[in-house]
Amino acid sequence: MIRVLLLVVTTVAGVQGDAANNQIIEFKERTKGPIATMTTAAGAYVEEEDTSTLNKNLFNNEFFMDSVTHVVRERIPERLVHAKGSGAFGYFEVTDDITDICRAKLFSKVGKRTPIAVRFSTSATQRGSIDTSRDIRGFSVKFYTEDGNFDIAGFNTPMFMYKDPVQFSSLVRSFRRNPSTNLFDANSLWDYLTQLPELLFIYMVVFSDRGIPDGYRHMPGFAIHTYQVVNKYGESHFIRFHFQPDAGIKNLLTDEARRIAGADPDYATRDL
């Protein structure tokens, strides 16, 4: 007998929640019948008798070994930067003809839509941190085009942090926790900022009223790199990608950001 996965959800009458809290309930309501047939990671069907290990040889139970192995290996180490992020799927629609600049198929005609995935993130903070920190935000877009995936890595600022890649490792360490105290150390960060003047431009934005976006829906995005594109005549152009929110640009003041952090550390994620 093959084990079939069924989704059973019990709700408490009268409990109200937002879309995030009700995700599993809404999924159950729009899913009819079994979700799938239970398999191992290798795709082998799981027999009914293998779903219990009582009084049986554990090491001969492929399902048990597979499920335990999955649990102990599922924790991927945290990213060094941009550890906490949120994503959304959507589409890119061409609204203006730019074929005189670029011949890529995703820009080939007005009205053409291309599926995309977008990831927003904080930069210096860790995975369990607040969403309203005064920090640079990541803004990356993946286009699922007919010719393959096209990725744009970006920030919420139109400028980057440095020109020389060798600066990366030292810069990252400057805003991480001090290994001697396990605390964030402002002296370490500012010591590095004052030694690398090209950082001052982007940090003038971070410490201005634009430093704390009011969620990801109100945050602009800017590609880090300049791209060289070619039109159908073989003519080259250099372009930059800018993303402007339809909801308008909004930011938080420090006191408001602190209040929100205490009430909902995942404010931007939930809003998205």
Domain with 58 in it:
4-73
Q: In terms of pLDDT, which residue wins out, 120 or 22?
A: 120
Question: Does residue 63 form part of some domain?
Answer: yes
Residue-level pLDDT at 16:
61
Lowest-pLDDT choice from 33-47, 102-116, 239-253, 254-268: 33-47
Question: Does residue 78 form part of some domain?
Answer: no
Same domain for 115 and 66?
no
Residue-level pLDDT at 13:
41
Question: Does residue 79 form part of some domain?
Answer: no
Residues 37-52: tens digit of each pLDDT: 888 888 888 888 888 8
Same domain for 145 and 21?
no
Same domain for 140 and 180?
yes
Please say if the pLDDT value at position 14 is more than 50.
Answer: no
Same domain for 157 and 47?
no
Same domain for 198 and 231?
yes
| The domain boundary residue, chosen from 46, 73, 100 | 73
Question: Does residue 255 form part of some domain?
Answer: yes
Same domain for 12 and 121?
no
Question: Does residue 117 form part of some domain?
Answer: yes
| Average pLDDT score over the chain | 89
Same domain for 101 and 26?
no
| The domain boundary residue, chosen from 38, 73, 108 | 73
Please say if the pLDDT value at position 11 is more than 60.
Answer: no
Residue-level pLDDT at 4:
52
| The domain boundary residue, chosen from 51, 73, 95 | 73
Cα distances from 85 to residues 106, 239, 248, in angstroms, run 26, 27, 21
Lowest-pLDDT choice from 55-64, 111-120, 213-222: 55-64
Residue-level pLDDT at 205:
95
Same domain for 152 and 256?
yes
Same domain for 206 and 259?
yes
Please state the three-class secondary structure of the chain as a single string. Answer: CECEECCCCCCCCCCCCCCCCCHHHHHHHCCCCCCEECECCCCCECEHHHHCCCCCCHHHCHHHHHHHHHHHHCCCCCCCCCCCEEEEEEEEECCCCCCCCCCCHHHCCCCCEEEEEEEEEECCCCCCCCCCCCCCEEEEEEEEECCEEEEECEECCCCCCCCCHHHHHHHHHHCCEECCCCEECHHHHHHHHHHCHHHHHHHHHHCCCCCCECCHHHCCEEECCCEEEECCCCCEEEECCEECCCCCCCECCHHHHHHHHHHCCCHHHHHC
